[in-house]
Amino acid sequence: MTPARRLTLLIATVPLLVTVLQPTAYGVARKDYLRHADSTCPGKRKYDEYEHCAPWRLWLRSGRVLRLPEARMFRPGTSPPAPIGQSPHGSMVAYYRLSDDALLVRDVTTGKVRTVPGEKWSPDIQWLSLSPGGRFAIISPNPWKTTGTQPRVVDTVTGQKHTFPTRMHLSFSPDNKYLLACQWDDLASRHPVQVVVYSAETWAEVRRGTQPSDLAGPLRMGGTTVAYIDRTGGTSYVRFRDIATGASTGSATKLPAGEYALRLVWDRANHLDLLTRVFGKPHRNAATYRWRRVNEGMRVLDTYTTIVRRP
């Protein structure tokens, strides 16, 4: 496996504990959006990238910082922190409450919090994320373990659960109508990624196909097309693929020099945004991230620098 492929796999499977999220344009409602969740230890002279200090702190695009003293940070008897999840555009966050292990979903703009019925913390939970708007929670154990808890999708309103085979990467279309499932094993190989699309209304399979990428791409509105990063040549491109036919669709877009693609996010208006890590910027303990609008000529939406944390 090449160094670039190892880096891609690390990004895809081991989430940085400063979680970087989409900056969305300010709207008339003045909604706020999460940039990253912080577990660093304020005031410590010596930096340790594996040391974490409660509480979780949420840094928002407006400049506000939200403290979550009620959120679980540590796993009993282990050093990696408990996960904190977010919706793709950063308007909602999810975490487990320390006092009773309940799963909570919080709107970062209004501060409104709701409890997910029937969902409790378990020490084997390693990844947590939210679908657009926080409608569904995606909860996963370590994907490299073949036994134990299966990945599951939980309706955050009703508490209804749906489980999936182990080692699955799960994500939703922007309108929450379709679920895209990719095999983690495929993400580490040189072969096309096997993908399945499910209806989020009936949970029945509606189509399947492949995606030629080592980084799971997002599902567009309609549930037929994925965007992905093509790194097969010396220059990386954003490309599009019809899942069922395997045919390329749309026009490829070249990635800017000096930036490494981390992930892509669609919205309901079919805007496609790209998160990159900027090379040649602050190093060692810090990293600079940039959001770009792919289908608006790679227009820069936001750039910011933060401390990098790892499990």
pLDDT band, very low/low/confident/very high, at 240 (cuts 50, 70, 90)? very high
* 124 or 42, which is more confident: 124
Integer Cα distance of 24 and 136 in angstroms: 20
User: Residue 95 is inside which H or E element, if any?
Assistant: strand 92-96
Across-strand partners of 95? 104
Range in 11-20, 55-64, 119-128 the model is least confident about: 11-20
Tens digits of per-residue pLDDT, 165-185? 867 889 999 999 999 998 765
The domains of the chain, with CATH numbers, are: 3-307 (2.120.10.30)
* pLDDT at residue 275 in the model: 93
Q: Give the count of alpha carbons within 13 A of 85, CB side only.
A: 26
Across-strand partners of 289? 277, 304
The identity of residue 285, as a single letter, is N
User: Residue 8 is inside which H or E element, if any?
Assistant: helix 3-13
Task: Residue 129: count other Cβ atoms within 10 Å of its Cβ.
Answer: 21
* pLDDT at residue 44 in the model: 63
**Mean pLDDT (whole number) for 175-204:** 82
pTM over 0.75: yes
* pLDDT at residue 11 in the model: 35
